[in-house]
Chain A
Amino acid sequence: MTLAETEPQALNFECETGNYHTFCPISCVAWLYQKIEDSFFLVIGTKTCGYFLQNAMGVMIFAEPRYAMAELEEGDISAQLNDYEELKRLCLQIKRDRNPSVIVWIGTCTTEIIKMDLEGLAPRLEAELGIPIVVARANGLDYAFTQGEDTVLAAMVNRCPDKPLAAEGDKEERNAITKLLNFGRKKEEIATSESEYVDHPPLVLFGSLPDPVVTQLTLELKKQGIKVSGWLPAKRYTELPVIEEGYYVSGVNPFLSRTATTFMRRRKCKLIGAPFPIGPDGTRAWIEKICSVFGIEPKGLDDREAQIWAGMEDYLQLIRGKSVFFMGDNLLEISLARFLIRCGMSCPEIGIPYMDKRYQAAELTLLEKTCHEMGVPTPRIVEKPDNYNQLQRITALKPDLVITGMAHANPLEARGINTKWSVEFTFAQIHGFTNARDILELVTRPLRRNTELKDLGWDKLVREEAKV
C-alpha cells in the first residue's frame, strides 16, 4: 500500500455536494446478522432508525430477526436516564431471550450527537454480562450504506484471536477419523488434503459474503495451491480467524477500507491490494495478484476466464455498445463499471459516495487499463454526487441504463430511461467466476424487459416533460 503516487492520472475525479440518496449504514445489520449466526445486533438510535430498518428489510423483519432497536427516548437524550443502566437492562433481556455469542452495538447519529460513550461502556458491561460486546459506529453522519459493514468488520478485527486455540490435537484426531471413514475411497483424494497447497504465509480474506460464494472463492484459490486460513467474518463469532503479525490479508469488496487499515495498523498484517473479484476479469486479476505476492505462477486462468466469457455471450450481445450511468450509492460502482466496460459498454459517469484511492488503487488502475483496451473514454468519477445535477446530466446524455437507488428508479422509468436498482447488487451473489453471469442477469433484465415492451409505444409515461 504505497500506491498514492501510482494513482492513475487519466481518470477524472470530481466531488459534488453530497446531496444524494443512499441507504443508512445501519442497514448492514440486515445481512450481517444472517451471516454471523450467533450474533445479536442492537441498534442504539431513534424511531427514525427503526422505521428505516423496518421498511428497508421488508419481510425479513417478521422472521424473528436477531436484531433490535434500543429506542432512545426523551429521557435518554436529556441524560435523565443512566446510559449504562439502560443498556444493561436491555442487554440482559437479550441475553436471557436469545443467548447470543456476541452483541454488536450499532452507534447511530443520535449517539454521536449526544456523545454516548459506547466504546467506554462496552468493556464494563461485557465484563459484567460475560458476553463480548462489539461497538461499531455505523452512522449517517460519517458513512454511506455498505460502509456500515466496514465499521463492523473493523471493530471485529480487534477481536480476532492472536494465536490458535489449543485444540490442535483434537483436530488431528478428528482428521484421523475422517481418514478412517474415507477408507476404500480413491487414494488421490486423501493425498490431496495438505500437499495440494503451496507453502505460503497464512492468508486471511475479509468481507461478508454468502456461504456458497465463500466456498467458491476458497476453491478458486485452492486450484492455485493457495490456502485460505480464515475469513472475516466467519459463520459464527466464535470462529473468528486467527490473526498474527505478518499474516497476509486481502479484501473481497471495495468498501472495506477501514477494515483494511485496521488489519495493517493494529494487527500488523500485509494487505494484498488487488482488484476485487467481481466479474471474470476482476476475479482473474484478484487471483493473479495474490499468486504474484506468494511467488506462484497462476495456472489455467486464461482458459477459465475465456470459458466464462464464452458462457455469457448471449447477455453480452444485449449490452455491447450501450452506455451505463452509475448514480452512486453502494461503493461497488468502480468494480461494476470496470466489468461492464470490459463487457463492451461505455460509461460516462461513475457516482460513488466515497472514494478511497489507496484501498481501491489496483481496481482504479484496472479500470483505466480496461478503458484503454476497450477503446472507450475514461469515465468521470464523481464522489459525493449531487442527485439533482446527475438527473440533469442523465436527461442530457440519455444513457441506455442508469444504475440507481429506488428513489429515482420509477420516476426515471416513467421518463423512458432504463434503470436497474443498485441495492440488488449488494444482496445478489456477484463474486468470482461462477457468479459473473448473475451480474449480467441483473444488468440486462431491464433491457430484456423493455425490449419485450418496445413495440407497445408507451415508453414515456409522464404527461408534461417533467422537471427533474
Chain B
Amino acid sequence: MKLAYWMYAGPAHIGTLRVASSFKNVHAIMHAPIGDDYFNVMRSMLERERDFTPVTTSVVDRNVLARGSQEKVVDNITRKDAEEHPDLIVLTPTCTSSILQEDLQNFVERAQIESKGDVMLADVNHYRVNELQAADRTLHQIVQFYIEKARRKGDLPTDKTTKPSVNIFGISTLGFHNNHDCTELKRLMAALGIEVNEVIPEGASVHNIKNLSRAWFNLVPYRELGLMSVQYLEQEFGQPYVDVTPMGVVETARCIRKIQSVINAQGANVDYEAYINEQTLYVSQAAWFSRSIDCQNLTGKKAVVYGDSTHAAAITKVLSREMGIHVVLAGTFCKYDEEWFREQVSEYCDEVLITDDHGAVGDAIARIEPSAIFGTQMERHVGKRLDIPCGVISAPIHVQNFPIGYKPFVGYEGTNQLVDLIYNSFTLGMEDHLLEIFGGHDTKDVITKGISADSDLAWSKDGQAELNKIPGFVRGKVKRNTEKFARDRNIEVITAEVLYAAKEAVGA
C-alpha cells in the first residue's frame, strides 16, 4: 500500500479509452462498477466535446460478483453493435475486472459471432502499466489487428504514394495541446512538400489502417504514444520512423533534417536547409528573441522542469540551449522511460529526478527556490504556495489547458508560443519581487475597511458569527443589506435570524 494524494499518470483503462475514443466510430465498453465512467465527464468537460463520448459500461455489481458476468458483457457488446454500428468495439478491463479474472477474451469471441463490427479485448494489465503505457499498447494492438486482418483478406496495399508522404502517430483525445500540435505538424509537412497519409488515432477510421504502409515514413512527435506502433510497422514493412520531437528551434531543425535523410534514402532528393534557415531566422521569433535584451535578463536564472518525458526533455533543452537559463533540475514521472530521459537531458541540467511522488517534486522545488517552474498543474500549485511562477507544460492538466485559441507546442509557431510562456513566467516573477522590495503599489494604509464603519446597529454574537461564515468578498454587501433591513424595521440587535430574514427579503 502507498499513501497517495495525487497521481501524474492515470490508471491503465484511461489510456485505452483515450485511444479508442480518438478513432472515428470505435466504441469502448468498460467492464467496471458504477462510477468508473468518469472518463466521459473528463472528455466532455475538458475537451468541450459536442458528441457523446463513445464509451459505455458493462456494469459490475453485486450480482456479477456473486455469479459472474455470464451473458451480460456479451449482451452489452451485441446491443451496442446493433445500436450504433461501430466499426470496432474495444472491451476495456479495469482494476476491478482485473481481480475478478473473468475470461473476457471468451466473451469477446462469443460476441464477435453475433456482431457486425469487430470486437477486441484491450490487452492491458491494470497493476503493471499506467495510462500512457496502456495507450501505447492499445494503439499498437488496434494497428496490428487491422494490418493482420487486411493481410488475411489480401487487400493490403503494397505500393508507396507517388509523392513523399507521412503518417502522424500519437495525436489523441485528452492529450496536452494535441489538436493544435496536429494542425501545426500538418502545416509543417505541407511546407516541406510531404503529403499526410494518415493521422492516428485522432479522427482516423480503422478501415484506413491498412493504408498506413503506403506512407514513406512515420512521424512520432510524442515519446509516450505511438512508438510501439511505428516499431511494429518498421518490422513489418521496413517503414522508417522519425521520433525527434520538433519542439524548440534546434529540435525542430533536427527533426526536419532527419525527415530529409529518411525520404532522400528513398529517392526523394530534397534539401530543406534553406527552409530551416528562413524559418529560424525570420519566421519564428524564438531565435531573435534569444538574442534580444529581454532574454539577456534571463541569463543564468534558475528553473525547474518536470512533466511527461517528451515535454520535460524538450523544454529543458529549450531553456538551457536556446535561452541560457540555468535548469537546476529536470524530472519526469515516466519512470518506465528513465534511461531515455536521462540520456536526453543530462547535459542540460544539474540534476535529474525520476519520481511520481508529487511530494518529492515539491520538496525539490522548495529546496532549489528557482525563479520559475515549468511543470504540470500540481507544480503550478506548489508554485502558488511558494510564490514562484509556473508555466504549465505537461499533463495532468485542467480545463484552462485546453485553450480554444491556436497554441501549438511543436513546429515553428510552437517556438513562438514557448517564448511567450517562458518569458511571461519570468517577468511576472520579477515584478512580484520588485513590488515586495518596494512595499507594494500603495504607500499609504487604507484606513477604513468598510463603508458602513459608523453603523449604529449592534450585532449579536451569533449574528456576527454567521456573518463571518459568509465568504469575504460578499460579506460587506451582506452586512450592508442586513443593516438596511434592520433599520427599516427598527430592529436594534442583529441576530442570525435577522441576517437570514434579510437574505430572504432581498431575495439573494
CB-defined contacts of A47 to chain B, threshold 8 Å: 7, 10-11, 95, 126, 130
Are the C-beta atoms of B60 and A141 separated by less than 8 Å?
yes
The stretch of B32-40, B271-279, B296-304, B423-431 in contact with A is B32-40
Complex Cα gap A143–B62 (Å): 10
Given A55-B38, A56-B38, A219-B3 contact (CB < 8 Å): no
B51's partner among A69, A89, A139, A414 (CB-CB below 8 A) is: A414
CB-defined contacts of A407 to chain B, threshold 8 Å: 37, 40-41, 44, 52-53
| Nearest chain A residue, comparing its CB with the CB of B382 | A62
Q: 8 Å CB contacts to A: which residues of B383-426?
A: 384, 396, 398
User: Does A125 sit at the interface, judged by CB under 8 A?
Assistant: no
User: Does A58 sit at the interface, judged by CB under 8 A?
Assistant: yes
Q: Hey, what's the 0/1 contact readout for B26-64 against A, CB within 8 Å counting as 1?
A: 000000111111101110110011111100110111100
Are the C-beta atoms of A437 and B50 separated by less than 8 Å?
no
Output the least CB separation between A116 and chain B (Å): 11
Output the least CB separation between B121 and chain A (Å): 18
Output the least CB separation between A318 and chain B (Å): 14
Complex Cα gap A68–B4 (Å): 6
Are the C-beta atoms of A51 and B127 separated by less than 8 Å?
no
Q: 8 Å CB contacts to B: which residues of A330-352?
A: none
User: Does B351 sit at the interface, judged by CB under 8 A?
Assistant: no
| Nearest chain B residue, comparing its CB with the CB of A90 | B3
Are the C-beta atoms of B52 and A408 separated by less than 8 Å?
yes
A140's partner among B1, B34, B126, B462 (CB-CB below 8 A) is: B34
Q: Hey, what's the 0/1 contact readout for A434-452 against B, CB within 8 Å counting as 1?
A: 1001000000000000000
User: Does A13 sit at the interface, judged by CB under 8 A?
Assistant: no
CB-defined contacts of B96 to chain A, threshold 8 Å: 48, 109-110, 113
CB-defined contacts of A130 to chain B, threshold 8 Å: none
The stretch of B225-233, B314-322, B500-508 in contact with A is B500-508
| Nearest chain A residue, comparing its CB with the CB of B396 | A54
Are the C-beta atoms of B2 and A70 separated by less than 8 Å?
yes
User: Does B190 sit at the interface, judged by CB under 8 A?
Assistant: no
CB-defined contacts of B38 to chain A, threshold 8 Å: 23-24, 51-52, 55-56
User: Does A433 sit at the interface, judged by CB under 8 A?
Assistant: yes
Complex Cα gap A212–B469 (Å): 7
User: Does B293 sit at the interface, judged by CB under 8 A?
Assistant: no
Are the C-beta atoms of A22 and B35 separated by less than 8 Å?
yes
User: Does A467 sit at the interface, judged by CB under 8 A?
Assistant: yes
User: Does B496 sit at the interface, judged by CB under 8 A?
Assistant: yes
CB-defined contacts of B496 to chain A, threshold 8 Å: 215, 219
Q: Hey, what's the 0/1 contact readout for B330-342 against A, CB within 8 Å counting as 1?
A: 0000000000000
CB-defined contacts of B48 to chain A, threshold 8 Å: 410
Q: Hey, what's the 0/1 contact readout for A448-468 against B, CB within 8 Å counting as 1?
A: 000000000000011000111
Are the C-beta atoms of B4 and A113 separated by less than 8 Å?
no
Are the C-beta atoms of A468 and B35 separated by less than 8 Å?
no
User: Does A311 sit at the interface, judged by CB under 8 A?
Assistant: yes
CB-defined contacts of A410 to chain B, threshold 8 Å: 44-45, 48-50
Complex Cα gap A21–B34 (Å): 7
Q: Hey, what's the 0/1 contact readout for A403-437 against B, CB within 8 Å counting as 1?
A: 00111111100100000000000000000011001
Number of chain B residues whose Cβ lies closer than 8 Å to a Cβ of chain A: 66
User: Does A71 sit at the interface, judged by CB under 8 A?
Assistant: yes
Are the C-beta atoms of A50 and B7 separated by less than 8 Å?
yes
| Nearest chain B residue, comparing its CB with the CB of A466 | B51
Complex Cα gap A13–B402 (Å): 42
Complex Cα gap A308–B500 (Å): 12
Output the least CB separation between B479 and chain A (Å): 15
CB-defined contacts of A93 to chain B, threshold 8 Å: 3
User: Does A112 sit at the interface, judged by CB under 8 A?
Assistant: yes
Are the C-beta atoms of B398 and A409 separated by less than 8 Å?
no
Output the least CB separation between B59 and chain A (Å): 6
Are the C-beta atoms of A433 and B51 separated by less than 8 Å?
no
CB-defined contacts of B51 to chain A, threshold 8 Å: 411, 414, 462, 466
Output the least CB separation between B470 and chain A (Å): 8
| Nearest chain B residue, comparing its CB with the CB of A223 | B497
Output the least CB separation between B132 and chain A (Å): 13
User: Does A145 sit at the interface, judged by CB under 8 A?
Assistant: yes
User: Does A77 sit at the interface, judged by CB under 8 A?
Assistant: yes
CB-defined contacts of B76 to chain A, threshold 8 Å: 19
| Nearest chain B residue, comparing its CB with the CB of A461 | B50
> Which one of A109, A185, A388 has the highest number of Cβ atoms from chain B below 10 Å of its Cβ?
A109
Complex Cα gap A185–B458 (Å): 11
Complex Cα gap A312–B504 (Å): 10
CB-defined contacts of A307 to chain B, threshold 8 Å: 504
User: Does A87 sit at the interface, judged by CB under 8 A?
Assistant: yes
Given A47-B95, A48-B95, A113-B65, A71-B50 contact (CB < 8 Å): no
B128's partner among A22, A58, A61, A74 (CB-CB below 8 A) is: A74
User: Does A18 sit at the interface, judged by CB under 8 A?
Assistant: yes
Complex Cα gap A79–B333 (Å): 27
Output the least CB separation between B82 and chain A (Å): 11
Are the C-beta atoms of A468 and B52 separated by less than 8 Å?
yes
Output the least CB separation between B432 and chain A (Å): 20
Q: Hey, what's the 0/1 contact readout for A23-42 against B, CB within 8 Å counting as 1?
A: 11110000000000000000
Are the C-beta atoms of A405 and B41 separated by less than 8 Å?
yes
User: Does B5 sit at the interface, judged by CB under 8 A?
Assistant: yes
User: Does A86 sit at the interface, judged by CB under 8 A?
Assistant: yes
Q: Hey, what's the 0/1 contact readout for B52-96 against A, CB within 8 Å counting as 1?
A: 110011011110010000000000100000011000000000111
Are the C-beta atoms of B126 and A70 separated by less than 8 Å?
no
Complex Cα gap A18–B56 (Å): 12
User: Does B381 sit at the interface, judged by CB under 8 A?
Assistant: yes
User: Does A126 sit at the interface, judged by CB under 8 A?
Assistant: no
Q: 8 Å CB contacts to A: which residues of B79-131?
A: 83-84, 94-96, 99-100, 126-128, 130
Output the least CB separation between B213 and chain A (Å): 31
B1's partner among A76, A109, A462 (CB-CB below 8 A) is: A76
Are the C-beta atoms of A139 and B5 separated by less than 8 Å?
no
Q: 8 Å CB contacts to B: which residues of A203-245?
A: 211-212, 215-216, 219
Complex Cα gap A342–B42 (Å): 35
Are the C-beta atoms of B127 and A73 separated by less than 8 Å?
yes
Are the C-beta atoms of B1 and A90 separated by less than 8 Å?
yes
A462's partner among B40, B50, B497 (CB-CB below 8 A) is: B50
User: Does B237 sit at the interface, judged by CB under 8 A?
Assistant: no
CB-defined contacts of A308 to chain B, threshold 8 Å: 504
CB-defined contacts of A54 to chain B, threshold 8 Å: 6-7, 396
Given A48-B95, A462-B51, A113-B507 contact (CB < 8 Å): no
Complex Cα gap A74–B1 (Å): 9
Are the C-beta atoms of A68 and B497 separated by less than 8 Å?
no
Complex Cα gap A142–B384 (Å): 39
Are the C-beta atoms of A73 and B1 separated by less than 8 Å?
yes
* Extra contacts besides A24-B33, A71-B1, A141-B34 (14): CB < 8 Å: A47-B95, A52-B36, A70-B1, A74-B128, A90-B3, A109-B33, A113-B65, A114-B99, A141-B60, A141-B65, A219-B500, A406-B45, A410-B50, A411-B53
* 6 A-B pairs with least C-beta separation: A24-B35, A140-B33, A407-B40, A414-B50, A62-B381, A47-B11
23 examples of A-B residue contacts, CB within 8 angstroms: A22-B35, A48-B94, A51-B7, A56-B38, A69-B2, A69-B3, A73-B127, A74-B128, A90-B1, A93-B3, A110-B95, A140-B36, A216-B500, A407-B37, A410-B44, A410-B45, A410-B50, A411-B44, A411-B53, A434-B500, A461-B50, A462-B51, A466-B51
